[in-house]
Structure 1
Amino acid sequence: MTACATASPSTRSLPALLAVGEQRLCAEEIYPRLFDAILEQRLTPGTALTEQALGDAFGVSRTVIRRVLGRLSDQQVIVQRPAHTAKLAAPDPEQARQVLSARRLAETTLIGLAIKRSRPPFIRQLRELIANERRHHENGERCTAIRLGGEFHLKLAEMANNAPLARFLNGLVPMTSLIIAQYETQPCSHCAWQEHAALVDAIEDGDGEAALQLMHQHLDRIEAKLTLE
Structure 2
Amino acid sequence: MTVKSKAAANGQKTRDHDSEDDTAVEARIYQSIFDGVLDHRLTPGTKLPEPQLCQLFGVGRAVVRRVLEKLAYDGIVVLRPNKGAVIAAPTPEETREIFEARRALERTLVELAVEKASARDIEALRQQLAEEHKAMHRFDQPAWARLTSCFHLRIGALAGNSILQNYLTELISRTSLIVGVYEAPGNAPCEHDEHAAIVDCIEARDAAGAVARMTSHLRELEERIETSRMPGEKSLGQLLGMTEA
Shift of 1:132: 2.2
The residue aligned with 1:192 is 191
> Relative to structure 1, is the Cα distance of residues 193 and 69 closer, same or farther in structure 2, using a 3 angstrom cutoff?
farther
Shift of 1:219: 1.1
1:45-84 pair list within 5 angstroms: 45-54=44-53, 56=55, 59-62=56-59, 72-73=71-72, 75-80=74-79
What is the CA deviation profile of residues 33-64 of structure 1, one whole-angstrom value per residue up to 9, with x for unaligned ones?
62356x25xx44233202432454xx532379
Query: Alignment identity in percent?
Result: 34
Q: Does 1:110 align with 2:109?
A: yes
The residue aligned with 2:202 is 203
Conserved 8 A contact 1:147-1:177: no
1:123-142 pair list within 5 angstroms: 123-142=122-141
* Secondary structure class of the residue paired with 1:79: strand
* Secondary structure class of the residue paired with 1:62: coil
Q: TM-score, normalised by structure 2?
A: 0.68
What is the CA deviation profile of residues 73-102 of structure 1, one whole-angstrom value per residue up to 9, with x for unaligned ones?
565322358997332011111111111111
Cα distance in 2 for partners of 1:72, 1:55 equals 16
1:14-53 pair list within 5 angstroms: 27=28, 30-31=32-33, 34-35=36-37, 39-40=40-41, 43-53=42-52
* Secondary structure class of the residue paired with 2:57: coil
Cα distance in 2 for partners of 1:69, 1:131 equals 35
The residue aligned with 2:225 is 226
| Number of equivalences | 199
1:142-221 pair list within 5 angstroms: 142-185=141-184, 187-188=186-187, 190-221=189-220
**5+ residue gaps in structure 1?**
1-25
Cα distance in 1 for partners of 2:115, 2:33 equals 32
Conserved 8 A contact 1:186-1:225: no
Larger radius of gyration: 2
**5+ residue gaps in structure 2?**
1-26, 229-245
Cα distance in 2 for partners of 1:183, 1:142 equals 14
C-alpha RMSD over aligned residues = 3.1
